[in-house]
Amino acid sequence: MIRDSRGKRPTFYETPGMDQLMSMLTVLASEFSVLADHIDGLERVAAKHGLDLKGGLASLEFGEDALNEREERRQALFGRMFYLLRKDAAEAAAGDDQARYEETLRVIADGPSIAS
């Protein structure tokens, strides 16, 4: 079960979608920073042991398990990245019920009101 925080979030930008975009960029920047630190650490450890990481990576072949792990990691990243959009969609869907649907149909059927 996916759990989301409840209630409205503060908004900082007037342009629709800009807050969600900034959230996605923040997630990507965080992921990028962690990966850069991880790669740096791996390169330093390998260099201490005289290992050629670039050559090893060039000849590396992935098995099914490794490919599945990569896909799971990728989907987890997308889940974090698109969290706010998914939450907004779930909130919008929860607000759609039969009464709201019928009210929308009534408004459409009545047509625009003309103020005197």
> What digits encode the pLDDT tens for the residues 80-113?
888 877 887 777 777 767 777 788 788 888 876 6
Cα 44-33-77 angle, rounded to 5 deg: 120
Does residue 114 form part of some domain? no
Does residue 46 form part of some domain? yes
Does residue 39 form part of some domain? yes
**Domains identified in the chain, total number:** 1
pTM for the full predicted model = 0.50
Does residue 113 form part of some domain? no
Does residue 28 form part of some domain? yes
pLDDT in tens, 44-71: 899 899 998 877 888 999 999 999 999 9
Does residue 42 form part of some domain? yes
Per the structure, the complete domain to which residue 29 belongs is given by 18-108
Helix, strand, or coil here: 99? Answer: helix
Does residue 61 form part of some domain? yes
What DSSP line would sit under 18-65, residue for residue?
HHHHHHHHHHHHHHHHHHHHHHHHHHHHHHHTT--HHHHHHT----HH
